[in-house]
Chain A
Amino acid sequence: MKHIKSSVLLDAFFAKLSHGGALIVLILVISIFAVLLGYSLEALSQLGLEFFTEEKWAPNLEKFGARSAIIGSLISTFLAMALCIPIAIGIAIFLTEIAPNSLKTPIGTSIELLAAIPSVIYGMWGLFYFVPLMRDLFGGLGIGMLSASVVLSVMILPFMAAVTRDAMNTTPDILKESAYALGATKWDVIQAVVIPYAKAGIIGSMILALGRAVGETMAVTFVMGNVHRISWDITAPATSIPVTLANEFTEADSSLYFSALFSLALVLMLISFSIIAIAKFYFLKKVRRGL
């Protein structure tokens, strides 16, 4: 009898303990938003909307305009996605429909492994090999928006290619075979069977990659230049939210400066949170349920 009693107690204890483990994630998310918001209040209340519309970022004059960082984030992410999407789809089509079986596994696996390489390595490659190339091609410093976008796109490429391939691989063979039996060419099968079937998964994965690209820091910090200016010349140095944070966080010397940086962090968190949430709730839900 005593034995059973103690096991009932232990049972309740274990349930509570594991419940706590699950709650910690929620507590973390809520406190991240609360803390970021708390530290942002000073800058947001003092600068108001000007924080978002003003381009000038001059800490020594206590002027903090986040426009160049926010626009920089959007442009670099957009360019990176524009470069990455066609290549990732190309790799995915190559791996699912074109490559002989003997190549599928080695190439597929090496792409997955490349997705695991830390972003700081991509940044380092960008700084030592890609920036000099850009300097030779376009003149100037080589450091800037275009270099950052290319490095960023190379960094998210393995992830995007791998998940796009996985999404395409979910197409049942019997559907493809039926189309071939009707006389379809490979491209007919890809565009009329594979892509429609895997559409939600492909789009969801791309938005997921987009969410990663927006928040990626190290790959771009090396090669962007951290210059708070919006320029039509995409080879010119620029900045983005993560680049500004990485470069200036340890230098902030006034409380308004700090608060402005926390506001940037909050903006970044909101952007990435909503992008990923859209991918998860809107596109990937079906895929997960379906599997």
Chain B
Amino acid sequence: MTASESLALITETMNNNSKEIIRRGGKYFILWGILLTCFSLLVYALWKSTGHAYWNNLWFAMPLVGYPLARMIRSKEEPAMATNAVSRIVSGIWTSFGVFACSVAAFSVLYSFLGNSPLGKIAVGAGLTASIVLLFGLAETISGVALKNWAIKIAGFVTGIGSLAIYYITGANEEQMFIFTLAGIVLAATGFIVKRQNK
């Protein structure tokens, strides 16, 4: 090998490797995006038809469906795995998002049980939808920063800030579920873009 050929080989290997790791991350964006869209439409339909906001508790079922599916995708990749700092950070960001989102949702449930007690008053201040979409947008934007991908960064801002604006304009009713539908579509679309960019 000449010096130029060696350098070209190094560059090509490193680029392909980096693209492969990012491309794999795209699968999880698509999975959670589709789940978010489906659950938001389901909660909307049940809330609208019955008039009961307690259908929001269905959100707790999303991780119960999503995590086994994510594990299934991961187990298919397992014989050929590679991790780097970026993939570890992105995984950490979304795990943290899951924990924070579940905590916010738990506050909402707490409120429904505790009503006017002091704990209930803390819970109602949490503003379930607004808090979750902000967390979601933040998680997506930071993922974009870690992956050095503008599509993800922009999608994160659009989801977080845009959805928050819609929330305050439309108010707290079943139509706020469309905010999650939008967030899910943006997330899944971002996953498809990431996969295409890194083929």
- Asked if chains A and B come from one complex, the reply is no
